[in-house]
């Protein structure tokens, strides 16, 4: 076995790895300097379960209602060999898609292992790409993988890929509504970033097969419910900008080998589940293991990472807990106590802190004058 995979397996412990999806990769790139998240995601650790065992259960995620609504809408669009989706692609987007085959790749003859699914996906995409006429195939739940910080992350996509006009396209099905032709800009932007992850992963796979990147279109198809009904509508979204940002962010991720090199041998996040599936790992021991790895908490983590409440608690009193812009403005002063001491003049600035100390004293003077004026 690959020694890197073996080490990651030991760090994760006895449970099966959690696959990435586009949402988790997009979140990973939102804090590329965090080694803790990078390692936990690479090892496929269930961060939500770890946070819960540490006494800081995750406070974000889709509501059960939103998940159920999303699943129902997806099932509707994909019913009968994705008949409704095909109709949309032909009518709304004017794509000349011939009669199609529909391949569900969520398992291969009952085997749902990611390696087997990836191999099957690769074989089918290779066959489709090599046919001169359009193979006319919809690939549902293809298993993809993407190189991240020196390791391959498997992607558990909820997408359909299809080939038309000699190009592969990615279809993202989302349950947020398009009302009078307008969708929530934040949700549309998130969907575009997630689709860009899939475009990138499909391009990597096709590159392995000797096909150019352009064989996967940068125009993705976003399918959403229209107005207040559940009728689907499709829009083409150009994700070139998201691809550029993603590429840059992925290149900034800390390389996994350098994180692993600094870790003590035997480090593990195993929750030691008993026969009733109850985690038995003592919280103190787990906290010690998690704290071994450097984190870069910022308030943005609260919306993107299951470990956020733990990391926020851990970073209490540090300037990073106030956000990246504050931390950067205070360049090099890491504790809020030091900032206050420098501002009030009760602390002597250390080497290299003279300039920031002057600015802090000035800010403190202005604040005091304002408050005195109000008083
Ligand atoms: S919450 Fe913690 S582990 Fe997650 S990205 Fe933020 S600092 Fe890293």
Q: In this predicted model, what pLDDT tens digit does every residue of 270-327 receive, in sequence order? A: 999 999 989 999 999 999 999 999 898 988 888 889 999 999 999 988 888 888 788 8
Least reliable range by pLDDT among 122-136, 138-152, 201-215, 240-254:
122-136
> Could you give the percent of the chain with pLDDT greater than 70?
94
Beta-carbon count within 10 A of 54 CB? 20
Judged against a pLDDT cut of 60, whether residue 177 lies above it is answered with yes
What pLDDT is stored for residue 22 in this prediction? 77
What pLDDT is stored for residue 136 in this prediction? 61
Report d(CA 370, CA 266) in Å as an integer: 56
Q: Does residue 176's CB lie within 6 angstroms of at least one atom of ligand 1?
A: no
What pLDDT is stored for residue 50 in this prediction? 95
CA-based torsion, 120, 126, 131, 132: positive or negative? positive
For the chain, the structural domain boundaries read 3-60+251-296, 64-245, 324-374
Judged against a pLDDT cut of 80, whether residue 158 lies above it is answered with no
User: Atom 1 in ligand 1: which residue has the minimum CA distance?
Assistant: 308
CA–centroid distance, 302 to ligand 1, in Å, is: 9
Task: Check if the beta carbon of residue 302 is closer than 8 Å to that of residue 59.
Answer: yes
Atom of ligand 1 lying closest to residue 308 CA: 1
Instruction: Tell me the mean pLDDT in the region 169-188.
Output: 88
Q: Does residue 37's CB lie within 6 angstroms of at least one atom of ligand 1?
A: yes
More confident residue, 47 or 102: 47
End-to-end CA distance of the chain: 71
What pLDDT is stored for residue 66 in this prediction? 77
What pLDDT is stored for residue 99 in this prediction? 66
More confident residue, 26 or 371: 371
* Exposed / middle / buried, residue 265 (Cβ in 10 Å: 0-12, 13-18, 19+): exposed
Q: Does residue 36's CB lie within 6 angstroms of at least one atom of ligand 1?
A: yes
Judged against a pLDDT cut of 60, whether residue 134 lies above it is answered with no
Least reliable range by pLDDT among 59-73, 118-132, 186-200, 272-286:
59-73
């Amino acid at each position: 076995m690959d020694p890197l995979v073996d080490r990651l397996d030991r760090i994760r412990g006895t449970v099966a790895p959690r696959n990435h999806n586009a949402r988790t990769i997009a979140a990973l790139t939102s804090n590329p300097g965090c080694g803790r998240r990078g390692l936990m995601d690479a090892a496929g650790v269930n961060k939500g379960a770890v946070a819960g065992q540490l006494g800081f259960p995750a406070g974000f995620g889709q509501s059960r209602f939103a998940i159920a609504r999303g699943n129902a809408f997806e099932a509707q669009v994909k019913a009968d060999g994705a008949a409704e989706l095909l109709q949309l692609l032909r009518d709304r987007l004017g794509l000349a898609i011939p009669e199609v085959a529909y391949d569900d790749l969520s398992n291969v003859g009952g085997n749902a292992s990611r390696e087997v699914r990836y191999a099957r996906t690769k074989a089918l995409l290779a066959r489709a790409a090599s046919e001169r006429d359009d193979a006319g195939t919809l690939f549902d739940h293809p298993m993809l993988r993407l190189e991240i910080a020196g390791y391959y992350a498997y992607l558990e996509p909820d997408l359909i890929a299809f080939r038309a006009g000699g190009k592969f396209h990615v279809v993202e099905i989302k349950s947020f509504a398009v009302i009078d032709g307008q969708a929530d800009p934040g949700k549309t932007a998130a969907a575009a970033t997630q689709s860009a992850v899939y475009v990138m992963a499909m391009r990597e796979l096709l590159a392995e097969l000797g096909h150019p990147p352009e064989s996967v279109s940068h125009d993705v198809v976003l399918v959403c419910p229209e107005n207040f009904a559940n009728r689907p509508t499709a829009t083409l979204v150009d994700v070139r900008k998201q691809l550029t940002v993603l590429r840059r962010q992925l290149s900034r991720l800390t390389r996994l080998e350098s994180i692993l090199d600094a870790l003590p041998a035997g480090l593990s996040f195993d929750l030691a589940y008993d026969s009733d599936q109850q985690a038995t790992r003592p919280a103190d021991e787990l906290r010690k293991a998690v704290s071994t790895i450097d984190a870069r908490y910022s308030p943005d983590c609260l919306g993107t990472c299951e470990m956020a409440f733990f990391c926020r608690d851990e970073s209490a009193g540090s300037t990073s807990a106030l956000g990246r812009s504050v931390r950067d403005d205070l360049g090099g002063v890491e504790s809020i106590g030091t900032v206050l001491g420098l501002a009030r003049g009760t602390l002597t600035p250390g080497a290299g802190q003279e300039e920031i100390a002057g600015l802090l004293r000035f800010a403190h003077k202005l604040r005091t004058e304002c408050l005195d004026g109000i008083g």
